[in-house]
Amino acid sequence: MNDSITEATYPAAGLGIAAVERDTGLGKDTLRVWERRYGFPQPLRDACGERVYPAEQVDQLRLIKRLIDQGRRPGALLRQSMASLSEQLSGSVAKADADDTAEWIIPLLKGRDLDHLRGELAQRLARDGLERFVVETVPALNRRIGDGWMSGELEIFEEHLYTEMLQNQLRSSIHALGNRGTAPQVLLTTVKDEEHLLGLLMAEALLAANGASCLSLGAQTPVADIAGAARGTLTDIVALSFSAAYPWRKARDTLIELRAALPSRVELWAGGGGLAGRGRSVAGVRVIGELRAISVALDDWRATNPPRNRR
C-alpha cells in the first residue's frame, strides 16, 4: 500500500512515512533507525501494517530536526519532552535574533505594509551592494521568517509574500546585470520535491555578479531534463540547491544519478542547508558550503579552463 492511500484512508490518525519525510526533512531510513534504537518516534500501524505518525510526533520531529541543523546530537534530543525541545529552540532563536538585524521585517509583514517593505529591501540592496545583501541580509531575513513561521507568529501567506517580494528584488538585480555570454555558462535549478527557490536565486545573483552567464530553469526539474538541457545549451556547470527540508540521502541519490547522466565535461555544483554537515560529499560533485565561496569556485573553474580551451 502506498503512503497516499494510507493518509487518505486514515486522515485523522496521522501521516505516512513518506509524508513525514517531506514535512520534516528526516529520511525514512533515519525514522526507522531512531524507532528501533531510541524508541522514538513510535508510529501507529494502519490495517496494512504501514506506519502512521500522529500529528504531535510529527511536530516533535520537526523541532528535533531544527535542533540537529543547529549542531545538536540526535541521541540526546530523542529522549526529551516537547516542552524541553521548544524551550531550547526558542533560546537559540532569541540568540540568533540578537545577532542579526532582521527584526524590522516582521511589523511590515504583519501590517501588510508592502510598499514600505519593497522600498526597505530596495534601499538595503542599494546601500550594501548586491553581494553583501545576498550574503548577509537575505540569510538573516530567511532565518527570521522561517523561525516566525515555525513558531506560528507568521501565517503561511505572509511567508509567501516575503518570498515573492524578495524573488522579484533578486530577479530585477540579476536582470540588470545582463547576460554577456561570458564563461562559464551555468544552468541552475532544483530537483523534484525541492520547492525552495531563494537559495538558487541567491547563488544566481552571486554567479552573475562574478561574470558567469546564468540560465535558470526554476524549481523541480526532473533529472533527465536537467541532463538534456545541459547538453542542449552547451552548459559548463549545473548548479543545484537543496534546502534543509530536503532529506540528505535523497539529495545524495539524486546527485549520483545526475552526475552519471551529465557529460563528464559539465561540472556539477550544489549548495544549501540540505547538504550542510560532515561527510556530505558525492564523487564528482562540488558541494559549496557558503555563498561567499562561489567566487573561489569560479576562479578555480577559470584557472582549469583557460580562455583558449573554452568553447
User: By rule CB under 6 A, what count of residues binds ligand B12?
Assistant: 40
| Bond from prior residue into 184 cis (ω within 30 degrees of 0) | yes
CA distances for 40 relative to 37, 45, 153, angstroms: 8, 14, 28
Give the Cα separation of 209 and 186 in Å (integer): 13
Query: Is residue 51 near ligand B12 by the rule CB under 6 A?
Result: no
Give residue for cell 573561489: 296
Q: What is the CA radius of gyration of the chain?
A: 21
- Asked if residue 239 binds ligand B12 (CB under 6 A), the reply is yes
Region label for 9, one of left (φ > 0), alpha (ψ between -120 and 50) or beta (otherwise) = alpha
As measured in angstroms, the least distance from the Cβ of 35 to ligand B12 is: 19
Shortest distance (Å) from residue 231 CB to ligand B12: 20
Residue 241 touching ligand B12 (CB under 6 A): yes
Per-residue binding letters, 181-220, with ligand B12 (x by CB under 6 A): ------------xxxxxxxx-xx-----------------
**Cβ 278 vs Cβ 248: under 8 Å:** no
Q: How far is the CB of 125 from ligand B12 (least distance, A)?
A: 16
Asked if 294 is part of the footprint of ligand B12 (rule: CB under 6 A), the reply reads yes
Out of 137, 142, 173, 216, name the contact with ligand B12 by CB under 6 A: 142
Query: Cβ distance 73 to 65 under 8 Å?
Result: no
Out of 273, 282, 285, 301, point to the residue binding ligand B12 (CB under 6 A): 273
Residue 233 CB, nearest approach to ligand B12 (Å) = 17
Whether omega before 307 lies within 30 degrees of 0, making that bond cis, reads no
Mask 11-40, x = binds ligand B12 (CB under 6 A)? -----------xxxx---------------
When asked if residue 120 is in the footprint of ligand B12 (CB under 6 A), the reply is: no
C-beta of residue 185 within 8 angstroms of C-beta of residue 155: no
∠109-65-206 over CA atoms, to 5°? 55
Residues in the chain: 311
Q: Among 236, 271, 285, 298, which residue interacts with ligand B12 (rule: CB under 6 A)? A: 271
**124 is written with which cell numbers?**
538595503
Is residue 7 part of the contact set for ligand B12 (CB under 6 A)? no
**Could you list the residues that contact ligand B12 (CB under 6 A)?**
22-25, 65-66, 69, 139, 142-143, 145-147, 150, 159-160, 163, 193-200, 202-203, 239, 241, 243-245, 269-273, 288, 291, 294
